[in-house]
Structure formats: structure tokens, C-alpha cells
């Protein structure tokens, strides 16, 4: 599956519980969109998880032609609910494709809530990223409850689900299939479609027979001690 097939709207907002791998997915989406010829802006609005932030790959993104929007340098290492003013550029410049990586729970999503009236006027979609290996959202009921809380906080309605189940470098095809089963259950619980399954390129060829296409990714985000 291509990035354009995932980002069917001009602006794609990624949300989900912290630790689901949203940032890795966001970076891969932005890079793939740029490779497909789009003018892309990636907004790093994740102020919940200090370990994985797309701003850490600024050089990689800019080399690929992706403009990164993040908090000021003084706030880079601070866990603060700041939203960069440049976000308005993504919302108002309709010549660009925007990927927004927002906080990993309702509290983190609150930073986006003040832009809700503007977002409702734009061509945007909200995708909910799932990781079946996160204990807080490993059941359909808890995952759906988290999703609904994020919707309530942002004032936006989710469009689809993304299975991004992983165990970092130890991920296997079995993990992704476990995530596919959870995504199917959440789909039944919420009525939302499963848009795609993500998988490292080394695993993608073995993932046949799934209910949605596979989006192959490359691991760019590293733990601080790696």
C-alpha cells in the first residue's frame, strides 16, 4: 500500500495510546508521501512521550523534502503542552499535504482541540493507531474506550484504524497478525474500517491473507540509549 492510499485526505492526523508507534508511522508516511511527489509538512504535536518524537529525525526529513513543524528549540526536551504557531501553515496552505502526530492519549490530544473549528473546515482525517502489545489497549473494549475519549477531547471523528502492532526490533509476523485480530475486533466494536497494517519491509512479504493492505516501513526512531 502506498502513502497516498493511506493519506486520502489533504491532512492526516494520527492518534492512539502512547507507545503504539505513531511517530514511526508518521515519519514513514511523510517520507513516503514526499517520495511519491507530494509537498509535505509533518507536525510534531506529541507532548506525551519524551522518548520518540519526529523532531529527532529533522535532518532526515528535511533532506527528503519534508518540512518539520515542532515546538521551539527551547522546548525540545521539555514535556510541555505547546503547539507551534506554524501549525496554521499546514491548515491554511492547501498546496501541501499535512501529517500530524498528536499526543498518545486524551490529555495529549487536548493540544489539538483548539484547532477543531478550523480542522472541520479542512479536508482531513483522523486515524487511530493500534498496538496489541500495549497492555492498556490490548482488548477491543479498552482500545475503543481510548478512541472515543480522544474523539471527545479533540471534537473530531475517527475515520479508520491502523494496526501498528510491534515489539520494536523484536517484532515478528505473529505480532502483526495478533494486531490484525485486535484491529478486527475494534472494527466490530466501533464500526470503523481497518485501513492498513504496518510492517517492517523484512516482514511484509510473509504477511499474506490479511483483511487490509500492508504498508511497509523502515525503522527510523531509536531509543535514547541506542
Pick from 85, 185, 71: nearest CA to 138: 185
Q: How far apart are CA 116 and CA 183, in angstroms?
A: 26
pTM for the complete prediction? 0.90
> Which position has the grid cell 509533518?
42
pLDDT tens figures, 9-44: 999 999 988 888 898 999 999 999 999 999 999 998
The ranges assigned to domains in the chain are 3-217
* Phi/psi of residue 175, nearest 5 degrees: -60, -45
192: left (phi over 0), alpha (psi -120 to 50) or beta: beta
Given its phi and psi angles, is residue 63 left (phi above 0), alpha (psi -120 to 50 degrees) or beta?
alpha
CA separation for the pair 99, 127 (Å, rounded): 11
- CATH of segment(s) 3-217: 3.40.50.300
Coil, strand, or helix at residue 40? Answer: strand
CB 130 within 8 A of CB 143: yes
Tens place of pLDDT for every residue, the chain, 226 residues? 999 999 999 999 999 888 888 989 999 999 999 999 999 999 988 665 555 566 677 889 999 999 998 865 445 454 455 566 778 888 889 999 999 998 766 666 777 887 888 888 999 999 999 999 999 999 999 999 999 999 998 899 999 999 999 988 889 999 999 999 999 999 999 999 999 999 999 999 999 999 999 999 998 876 544 4
Q: Which residues lie below 8 Å from residue 202, measured CB to CB, with a gap of 6+?
A: none
Q: Which stretches within the chain are classed as H helix?
A: 3-6, 22-35, 58-63, 87-92, 106-113, 116-121, 140-154, 173-190
| Cα separations in angstroms, 37 against 3, 17, 105, 138, 170 | 11, 31, 32, 36, 32
Residue 45's pLDDT is what?
Answer: 82
Query: Would the CA dihedral through 9, 33, 112, 166 be positive or negative?
Result: positive
**pLDDT recorded at residue 74:** 45
CA–CA distance, 193 with 191 (Å, rounded to integer): 7
Of the candidates 182, 221, 160, the one whose C-alpha atom is nearest the C-alpha of residue 30 is 221
Amino acid at each position: 500500500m502506498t502513502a497516498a492510499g493511506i493519506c486520502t485526505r489533504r491532512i492526516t492526523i494520527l492518534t492512539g495510546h502512547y507507545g503504539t508507534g505513531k511517530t514511526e508511522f508518521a515519519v514513514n508516511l511523510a517520507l513516503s508521501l514526499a517520495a511519491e511527489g507530494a509537498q509535505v509538512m509533518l507536525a510534531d504535536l506529541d507532548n506525551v512521550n519524551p522518548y520518540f518524537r519526529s523532531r529527532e529525525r529533522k535532518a532526515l526529513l528535511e533532506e527528503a523534502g519534508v518540512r518539520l513543524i515542532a515546538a521551539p528549540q527551547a522546548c525540545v526536551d521539555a514535556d510541555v503542552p505547546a503547539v507551534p504557531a506554524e501549525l496554521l501553515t499546514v491548515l491554511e496552505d492547501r498546496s501541501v499535504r499535512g501529517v500530524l502526530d498528536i499526543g498518545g492519549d486524551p490529555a495529549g490530544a487536548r493540544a489539538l482541540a483548539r484547532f477543531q473549528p478550523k480542522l472541520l473546515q479542512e479536508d482531513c482525517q483522523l486515524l487511530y493507531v493500534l498496538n496489541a502489545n500495549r497492555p492498556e489497549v490490548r482488548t477491543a473494549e479498552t482500545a475503543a474506550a481510548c478512541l472515543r475519549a480522544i474523539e471527545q477531547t479533540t471534537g473530531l471523528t475517527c475515520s479508520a484504524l491502523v494496526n501498528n502492532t510491534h515489539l520494536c526490533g523484536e517484532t515478528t509476523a505473529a505480532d502483526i497478525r495478533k494486531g490484525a485480530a485486535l484491529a478486527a475486533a475494534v472494527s466490530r466494536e466501533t464500526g470503523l474500517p481497518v485501513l492498513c497494517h504496518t510492517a517492517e519491509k523484512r516482514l511484509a512479504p510473509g504477511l499474506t491473507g490479511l483483511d487490509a493492505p500492508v504498508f511497509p516501513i523502515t525503522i527510523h526512531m531509536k531509543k535514547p540509549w541506542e
